[in-house]
Amino acid sequence: MALVAVGESIWSCGVDPAGRRYHRSVTETMTATTIATPADSTTALAASSSAEAPLIHARGLRKCFGAFTAVDGVDFDVAPGEAFGFLGPNGAGKTSTMRMIGTVSPVTAGTLTVFGLDPAREGARIRARLGVVPQADTLDNELSVLENLLIYGRYFDLSWSESRRRAKELLEFVQLTERSNDKVEPLSGGMKRRLVIARSLINEPSLLLLDEPTTGLDPQARHLVWDRLYRLKQRGVTLCITTHYMDEAEQLCDRLVVMDRAKIVAEGSPRQLIDRYVTREVLELRFRRTEDEADDSAHIGNKLEGLADRVEQLPDRVLVYTADGEAAAAAAYERGLRPASILVRRASLEDVFLSLTGRSLVE
Amino acid sequence: MAVVSRASVRILEHDLLVFRRGWFNYLLAGLSQPFLYLVAMGIGLGLYVNRSGNLPGGVPYLDYIAPALLVTQAMMAAAFESAWPIMSKIEWDKTYHAALNTPIGALDLLLGDLMWIAFRTTLLSVLFLLVVLALGAASSPLVVLAVPVAVLTALAFAAPIMAFTATQTGDGGFNALFRFGITPLFLFSGTFFPIEKLPLFLQPVAWITPLYHGVAAARELSLGRVEPVGLAVHLAFLVAAIGVGVAAGRVTFRRRLVV
């Protein structure tokens, strides 16, 4: 029984309660800053009807760099108001896809429209309505925090006074008002990231592209970023996010595609993907390895035979996919297995990825 | 110029916003540099040159080199500005990439920063001109036109160097560019002595470099010895160099930034 308690406590400090907390904080703070987006509540409602044309539409989308294929014929649609994710390891083709959507990378082949427009011919018009949070911060170290936003507003053809008004609102939104006149360089990674998010909102975009928005941030900074993104989503901003963190995808995305080696290997909501590709629970067993690893694996494999839907042997642990992890753990013990540690947890997108590719997601 | 888009003016605004922080020191340096150069070379070295009885153009050495230094200073500043700072915007700080996520395009970046270099070299050249006038080193009021000539010369270097910068991944190439390109040009393009004194085979080399034409035009204006056809050729050459540079930069910027 103690085993399950451990599993649950890990679970409880993970995804679900945090998610609930967001729901609460959003309703509390909807009054804060009003960032008028084209997608107000009425259009957000309309967005949920399937009649609305997708904001992003891709069919057979390809990107090649010379002989290297970064994106190999992917299909997806992003509907207005949804939070859509690209989940996959480094090099899966997520960033290349985002750059094509952002019209800063020409499409090699296939169809891509953004806001119903062709990126090749109407790039500037698309970018005028887009917010982009790139993977690298690309902040201007020669300018102050406020000036970074001011000039960015000018790039979108806002007047200086309008740009200043929005910049101040956005600094409030990302909690950087006190740092307005500071240089960018000494800001922490989390602050820089928030500043980049503020910058991406200066043109009041209806579609926000976020390329690994929290990579390299500490847990507090990640949660603050997630919180701000969640608020934007509540206001009807469509989010398009790449990540290689499954907890991030589970937190933020209504729907996502799993990318691996330039292709989309699965698509659905986080819950659907977990239901489709893995079991409800996962039992993790760690063993003290002896000299002969192959022999060990075979031995463990034999013992677990027929005990679960599927067994995945990783270098450091064995994953047992089962509806009832506790029962599986007891059965394994009965069969004479003596693991060094046992953990029962709910299945996550990490498991989806593992079951789809047989490899760990963060490599 | 029809090529000056509203988007490229935004890039100029960015550079002016940065400039707001350092303008005073910049202007101070812009005054002291020409003063030091002209006193050391024009007056100091000129003392000996003037005694030789073999003066280039038959004018005091200070008068001879003042318009040339005005142009070379603008050229040097432009060469620098189109190398390291541009590399930073492309590769180190990546601020170009941030701008490209807005309606601004790759060509706007190139044109905007060229305008910035034009602005900066105009300031420098006006300050230089003030020092020249203060030292009485110009013999014709046409010398004020040496300022636009200097700016044209600056752009004739800036445009192709920016195009080159966009092909580089680090600043290694710049050392070679300055060592084997900019510095020899500074010394041998008719700045300190007529190119007729160069070995015969080098004279055509000097002639095809934009700096020679900028220096020659500025000198004609400063000394009040304008030959309309010659001046037109010099200016046409500078404009052509800018055109070639922008055309090349249009390709290299796009290739580098939109991939």
At A293 the pLDDT is: 67
Q: What is the mean pLDDT of residues A53-66?
A: 96
| Interface contact B20, partner A, CB < 8 A | no
- Give the mean pLDDT per block of 10 residues along chain B (259 residues): 76 96 89 90 89 82 95 96 97 96 97 97 96 94 97 98 97 94 91 89 88 96 95 97 98 96
Instruction: Examine residue B56 and state whether it is found in any structural domain, yes or no.
Output: yes
At A32 the pLDDT is: 36
Contact criterion met (CB < 8 Å) for A154 and B97: no
Distances (CA, A) of B113 to A249, A270, B14, B86, B108: 40, 46, 9, 8, 8
Confidence band of A227 (pLDDT split at 50, 70, 90): very high
Q: What is the CATH number of the domain that holds A310?
A: 3.30.70
Instruction: Examine residue A27 and state whether it is found in any structural domain, yes or no.
Output: no
Q: Tell whether the model's pLDDT for residue A1 goes beyond 70.
A: no
At A361 the pLDDT is: 57
Q: What is the mean pLDDT of residues A332-343?
A: 90
Q: What is the mean pLDDT of residues A197-204?
A: 97
Residue that finishes a domain, picked among A274, A289, A311:
A274
Residue that finishes a domain, picked among A274, A304, A336:
A274
Query: Which token pair is B8?
Result: 């490229």
Q: Which of A243, A237, A240 is nearest to A201 (CA)?
A: A237
Contact A282, A309 (CB under 8 A): no
Which ipTM score applies to this complex? 0.92
Q: What is the CATH number of the domain that holds A102?
A: 3.40.50.300
Distance CA B52, CA B204 (A): 27
Domain total of chain B: 1
Q: Count Cβ–Cβ pairs < 8 Å, chain A vs chain B.
A: 73
Distance CA B76, CA B78 (A): 5
Q: Tell whether the model's pLDDT for residue A22 goes beyond 90.
A: no
Distance CA A348, CA A251 (A): 11
Q: What is the mean pLDDT of residues A105-122?
A: 97
- The domain of B134 spans 6-257
Contact criterion met (CB < 8 Å) for B259 and A105: yes
Q: What is the mean pLDDT of residues A177-191?
A: 96
Contact B182, B160 (CB under 8 A): no
Distances (CA, A) of A136 to A140, A196, A233, B95: 12, 10, 23, 10
A90 and A123 housed in the same domain:
yes
Domain total of chain A: 2
Contact criterion met (CB < 8 Å) for B103 and A143: no
| Interface contact B103, partner A, CB < 8 A | yes
Q: Tell whether the model's pLDDT for residue A36 goes beyond 70.
A: no
Instruction: Examine residue B61 and state whether it is found in any structural domain, yes or no.
Output: yes
Site of tokens 């989390």 = A190
A98 and A185 housed in the same domain:
yes
Q: What is the pLDDT of residues B111-121, one digit of tens each?
A: 999 999 999 99
Confidence band of A360 (pLDDT split at 50, 70, 90): low
Distance CA B10, CA B21 (A): 18
| Interface contact B97, partner A, CB < 8 A | yes
Instruction: Examine residue B1 and state whether it is found in any structural domain, yes or no.
Output: no
Contact A171, A149 (CB under 8 A): yes
Residue that finishes a domain, picked among A254, A274, A294:
A274
At B197 the pLDDT is: 86
At A51 the pLDDT is: 53
A148 and A254 housed in the same domain:
yes
Contact A79, A54 (CB under 8 A): yes
- The domain of A285 spans 2-13+279-357
Mean of all residue pLDDT scores within chain A: 84
The nearest CA of chain A is from the CA of B18 a distance in Å of: 6
Q: What is the mean pLDDT of residues A251-277?
A: 93
At A355 the pLDDT is: 82
Q: Tell whether the model's pLDDT for residue A137 goes beyond 60.
A: yes
Contact criterion met (CB < 8 Å) for B93 and A156: no
